[in-house]
Structure 1
Amino acid sequence: MKKRPIPTLVPGMVTTVIPVFNRPEMLVSAVGSVLAQDYRPIEIIVADDGSTDQTPTVAEQLIEKNPDIIHYVRIENSGPGPAREAGRVIAKGEFIQYLDSDDRLLPNKFADQLAALNQHPDCDIAYGITRLVDEQGTVISEPFKWTDRKIDALFPGLLVDRWWCTHTPLYRRSLTDQIGPWCDMRWSQDWEYDARAGALGAKLVHCPTLVSEHVHHAGVRQTSGADWGRDPVRLRNRFDLLTTLWKNATKAGLPGEAQERQHFARWCFRIARQCGAVGLKSESAELLRVAKKASGQGVGSRGLAAYSAVGKMLGSRVTGRLATWLENYRVRPGKSTMNQSFEGQVGEQE
């Protein structure tokens, strides 16, 4: 196979990678929000994930108007991770911005976040405040998730939730080169990506300004119609995410007393029960093992021990179904150890 030439890095340039699948109108809005940036030089790479509608034609029209800024790459439909990767490997920018095609950047984003990175050369990622809006631009929640908080590192917070949106951070190219390729997970690939950044000890700097908008719309998102607790495909994806989060959290040097560990242990325990109920025996067993490690002797350790004992007698499928039935119909679920970032806000978790 012929090796792809390494792109020449342009100092100071920000490359925005926009994966898109069958969203021509939204693509125009997303690209427009990048072109409206107060900062230059910029580059936009539209990474088409095998669109079957007018998206390629719209992308071509955008390129005709801005041939020196916008570039196009197309792959067979593989999901947003491989699409972002197709853009990342040809990026020329010293800084990398990821933007989903249904969201928008605010004009000050690059200027504010680059100023923060210049003031803090030891930091790898700058992030600002994201707000949640509807399709008409009406503000639903400001700030959205934990983006108004000053947080110095990705872990241990990532064990609770991906507490920002894909478009919130701006990465140094030097960090994205270390993180490596995007994975091919259909869901939560952005969470997995930042987990690897966290394992590298990436340092964050916060900008106290609004920098992007997460758009809550009626169109299709990857999480639309998701029944995470019953679908084996989605549960395997969740298994991959949880085990990857734990692996990278331990690489990052997770404190033993971190409250986030207890939240994560409960989460693994719940998904382990759901995996067991649909016959994912090995995944259920591994998640129980991870939950025990995360919990130590903390919240839920007795429940974990009791569930494991019953599972040995009845099998993971019967035990998982029984536990799920009890949780849904007979027993109120326990109080969450920590609140997730999106609770009480309209929109998608991922």
Structure 2
Amino acid sequence: MKIISFIIPSFNSERFLDKCLNSFISSEALDKLDIIIVNDGSTDNTPSIADKYASAYSGSIRVIHQENRGHGGAINAGCDAAVGKYLKVIDADDSVVTDNISFFVEKLESIDSDIVLTHYYTTDVTTGVIKKWMCYPETFDREYTLSEMMSRWDDFSRC
């Protein structure tokens, strides 16, 4: 069973797509990932890059080719095709921390949450400075009810 579907909406993303997909493929949990690249009418090499990865990793990476329907249309197409228990949208110019994927998948397999929040990193493209954004102050294992999350909206709204 695929535990999580990653939807990657991609429009003219040839500069970024290799880095994005490479951040997934060295993960020990790749067989539990459903990675869906939605080529949203790209006119560059995005379609051929996506096809190359889908061919090489056919058990985990798929491609949907469609005429341009915009970012939301690409996400919707990915949602329709997703088979994972959980769903995450990641843009083609993003990447995942490969070392964390196996831990993350293991955690997802052991819980039955409706929403899962994680910290994330940003990189300033001008300076190269990497900043960690904390979605919440407590440990990864803490579970919250919806009313707890809503009462602490300022702590969770960055996620």
| Conserved 8 A contact 1:15-1:45 | yes
**TM-score of the pair, normalised by structure 2:** 0.77
Partner residue in 2 for 1:21:
11
**TM-score of the pair, normalised by structure 1:** 0.38
Partner residue in 1 for 2:48:
57
Q: Take 2:42 and 2:86, find their aligned partners in 1: how far apart are those partners?
A: 27
Partner residue in 1 for 2:22:
32
| Number of residue-to-residue matches in the alignment | 151
2:42 counterpart letter in structure 1? S
Are 1:149 and 2:144 counterparts?
Answer: no
* Structure 2 residue matching 1:108: 3-state secondary structure: helix
1:1-350 matches, within 5 Å, as: 11-39=1-29, 40-121=31-112, 123-135=113-125, 138-142=128-132, 144=133, 146-150=134-138, 152=144, 153=146, 154-155=149-150, 162-164=157-159
The Cα shift of 1:93 comes to 2.0
Identity among equivalent positions (%) equals 23
* Structure 2 residue matching 1:25: 3-state secondary structure: coil
| Conserved 8 A contact 2:135-2:156 | no
The Cα shift of 1:61 comes to 2.1
Partner residue in 2 for 1:321:
none
Structure 1 gap ranges (5+): 1-10, 165-350
Cα distance change of structure 1 residues 63 and 114 upon mapping to structure 2, 3 Å threshold = closer
CA displacement, residues 57-101 of structure 1 (integer Å, 9 cap, x when unaligned):
221222232233221112222222210111111122223222111
Greater relative contact order (Cα < 8 A, sep 6+): 2
CA displacement, residues 173-219 of structure 1 (integer Å, 9 cap, x when unaligned):
xxxxxxxxxxxxxxxxxxxxxxxxxxxxxxxxxxxxxxxxxxxxxxx
* Structure 2 residue matching 1:115: 3-state secondary structure: helix
Q: Take 2:114 and 2:127, find their aligned partners in 1: how far apart are those partners?
A: 31
* Structure 1 residue matching 2:9: 3-state secondary structure: strand
The Cα shift of 1:51 comes to 1.1
Partner residue in 2 for 1:281:
none
RMSD of aligned Cα (Å): 2.9
- Show structure 1 runs of 4+ deviating over 6 A: none
2:121 counterpart letter in structure 1? R
Q: Take 2:40 and 2:151, find their aligned partners in 1: how far apart are those partners?
A: 32
2:21 counterpart letter in structure 1? V
Structure 2 gap ranges (5+): none
| Conserved 8 A contact 2:17-2:92 | yes
CA displacement, residues 79-137 of structure 1 (integer Å, 9 cap, x when unaligned):
2221011111112222322211111111134333333344443x222232212224599
1:73 counterpart letter in structure 2? I
1:45 counterpart letter in structure 2? I
Partner residue in 2 for 1:319:
none
| Conserved 8 A contact 1:17-1:45 | yes
Say which one has the larger Rg: 1
| Conserved 8 A contact 1:37-1:106 | no
The Cα shift of 1:163 comes to 0.8
| Conserved 8 A contact 1:132-1:140 | yes
